[in-house]
C-alpha cells in the first residue's frame, strides 16, 4: 500500500464509493439505468477530487515538504528554512515542523562535535609536542653525562665544568617542563571553576611599578621602554578589588607578550590605566607589527601561536593568554584585543573599584 501514490489511492477509493452508489441506483426502480450510471460517473469524479485533494494537501504534500526541508538541512542551508517555522494549526504540518527542527538541531550538534573533535586532536598534538621538547632535551644531557661516567678510560671522561653545564641545562629543561605542567593544571582548574579568586583591595599603580622593575632587564635587552600612562598616575593610588596575585599573573603575561612581539629596537610598551566610576580599564599596548584579523579570534586559545616558526623559548608555551583570559573572566570581565597590522596591538580589560564607604 505504501508504494501507491496519492492519485492512485484517490482513484481506488472513488471507484469503490461510486460503485456502491451505482449499484444502489441500479436497483432502485424509479431511476433509469442511464441516469444511474451517469450519477455513478459524477460520484467517481467528485470522490476522486475530494479524496485526492485531501490526501495531496494534508499528507503527501506535507511529507514531500518535510523531505525537502531535510535536504536543506543536509546541505546546511538553514536560512532557507526561516519562513517554514511559523505557527500552523494543522497537526501534520506542526509535526513536520518538529521533525525538521529536531533534524536541524542534530545537524548543528554534529557540526559542533566535529569542530570540538578537530580542536581536541590539535590540542593533543600541541601538548605532546610541548611536553616532549624539554623532556628530550633533559634526557639528552643526562644520558650524555651517564655515558661519559661509564667510560673506562680517563681520557674519555667529561670535564667537570662541562658536566655542570650539561646538568644546568638539564635542570633548566626540567624546570620548563614543570612550569608547562603547572600551567596545564592551572588552566584546567580555571576552566572547571575550582580556583576561587581571593578579592582584596590593592593599589594597581604600585603593582604596575613592581612589574616594570621585574621586567626591566628584559625590556633593556629588547631595546624597549616600559611606560605608565598617563604619567601623572605615577604618584597616585588607584585602588581596585581583585585577586592581586592573579592580576599580577595576567599583567606579566600581557607585558611579556608585548615585549616579545613588539619591535626589536625602539619598542614601546605602555600600560594605560583609565579610572571610571565603578571600574578601571587596564590596557597594555605595544608598537609592534600587530596581529592579522584571522588570528585575533584564536589568540586566546591554548597553544595557539601567530608565528608558527617561533620556538617555544621565543614564543612561550602558548598558555599565557589562555590563562589570562580565564582569570579576567573569573573577575566578571572580558579581555579584548585591538590590533592593526604595522601599528601594534592593545589588550585591555576592566577591574572593579572598591565601593566607597559613606
H and E: helices and strands count for the chain: 11, 7
pLDDT of 258 higher than 60: yes
Enumerate residues 6+ apart whose C-beta is below 8 A from 99. Answer: 66, 70
Q: Identify the residue with better confidence: 232 or 351.
A: 351
Give the C-alpha separation, 356 to 132, whole Å.
Answer: 51
Question: In this prediction, what percent of the chain has a pLDDT beyond 90?
Answer: 25
Give the C-alpha separation, 212 to 235, whole Å.
Answer: 15
Closest CA to 134 of 175, 96, 75: 175
The pLDDT of residue 48 is: 73
Tell me which CATH code domain 201-352 carries: 3.30.565.10
For the segment 225-232, the average pLDDT, to the nearest whole number, is 90
Closest CA to 22 of 9, 34, 8: 34
Question: In this prediction, what percent of the chain has a pLDDT beyond 70?
Answer: 69
Strands (E), the chain: 200-203, 224-229, 239-242, 267-275, 279-286, 336-340, 344-352
pLDDT of 292 higher than 60: yes
Phi first, then psi, for residue 167 (nearest 5°) are: -65, -40
pLDDT of 15 higher than 60: yes
For the segment 165-182, the average pLDDT, to the nearest whole number, is 81
- Whole-structure pTM over 0.75, yes or no? no
Give 58's DSSP letter: I
Question: What are the cell numbers at 225?
Answer: 621602554
Q: What is residue 226's three-state secondary structure? A: strand
Question: What are the cell numbers at 134?
Answer: 624539554
pLDDT of 221 higher than 70: yes
Local confidence band at 53 (pLDDT 50, 70, 90 cut-offs): low
The pLDDT of residue 123 is: 64
Report whether 211 contacts 248 (CB < 8 A): yes
- pLDDT, mean over the chain: 77
The pLDDT of residue 310 is: 46
The pLDDT of residue 283 is: 95
Give the C-alpha separation, 174 to 145, whole Å.
Answer: 16
Q: Tell how far CA 262 is from the center of its chain.
A: 27
Residue that the C-alpha cell 469503490 belongs to: 16
Closest CA to 251 of 270, 267, 266, 232: 270
Amino acid at each position: 500500500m505504501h508504494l501507491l501514490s496519492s492519485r492512485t489511492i484517490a482513484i481506488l477509493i472513488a471507484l469503490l464509493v461510486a460503485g456502491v452508489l451505482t449499484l444502489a441506483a441500479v436497483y432502485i426502480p424509479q431511476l433509469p439505468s442511464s441516469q444511474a450510471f451517469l450519477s455513478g460517473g459524477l460520484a467517481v469524479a467528485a470522490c476522486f477530487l475530494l479524496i485526492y485533494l485531501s490526501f495531496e494537501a494534508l499528507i503527501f504534500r506535507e511529507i514531500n515538504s518535510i523531505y525537502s526541508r531535510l535536504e536543506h538541512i543536509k546541505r546546511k542551508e538553514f536560512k532557507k528554512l526561516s519562513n517554514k517555522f511559523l505557527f500552523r494549526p494543522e497537526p501534520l504540518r506542526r509535526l513536520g515542523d518538529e521533525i525538521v527542527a529536531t533534524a536541524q538541531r542534530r545537524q548543528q550538534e554534529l557540526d559542533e562535535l566535529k569542530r570540538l573533535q578537530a580542536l581536541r586532536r590539535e590540542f593533543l598534538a600541541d601538548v605532546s609536542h610541548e611536553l616532549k621538547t624539554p623532556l628530550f632535551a633533559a634526557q639528552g644531557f643526562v644520558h650524555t653525562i651517564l655515558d661519559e661516567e661509564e667510560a673506562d678510560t680517563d681520557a674519555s671522561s667529561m670535564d667537570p665544568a662541562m658536566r655542570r653545564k650539561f646538568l644546568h641545562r638539564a635542570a633548566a629543561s626540567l624546570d620548563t617542563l614543570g612550569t608547562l605542567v603547572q600551567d596545564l593544571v592551572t588552566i584546567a582548574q580555571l576552566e572547571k571553576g575550582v580556583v576561587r579568586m581571593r578579592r582584596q583591595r590593592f593599589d594597581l599603580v604600585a603593582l604596575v611599578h613592581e612589574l616594570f622593575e621585574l621586567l626591566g632587564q628584559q625590556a633593556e635587552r629588547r631595546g624597549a621602554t616600559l611606560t605608565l600612562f598617563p604619567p601623572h598616575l605615577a604618584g597616585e593610588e588607584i585602588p581596585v578589588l581583585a585577586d592581586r596575585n592573579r592580576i599580577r599573573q595576567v599583567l606579566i603575561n600581557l607585558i611579556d607578550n608585548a615585549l616579545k612581539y613588539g619591535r626589536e629596537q625602539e619598542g614601546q610598551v605602555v600600560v594605560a590605566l583609565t579610572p571610571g566610576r565603578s571600574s578601571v580599564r587596564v590596557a597594555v599596548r605595544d608598537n609592534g607589527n600587530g596581529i592579522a584579523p584571522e588570528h585575533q579570534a584564536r589568540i586566546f586559545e591554548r597553544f595557539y601561536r601567530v608565528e608558527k616558526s617561533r620556538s617555544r623559548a621565543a614564543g612561550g608555551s602558548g598558555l599565557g593568554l589562555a590563562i589570562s583570559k580565564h582569570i579576567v573572566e573569573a573577575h566578571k570581565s572580558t579581555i579584548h584585543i585591538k590590533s592593526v597590522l604595522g601599528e601594534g596591538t592593545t589588550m585591555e580589560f576592566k577591574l572593579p573599584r572598591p565601593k566607597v564607604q559613606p
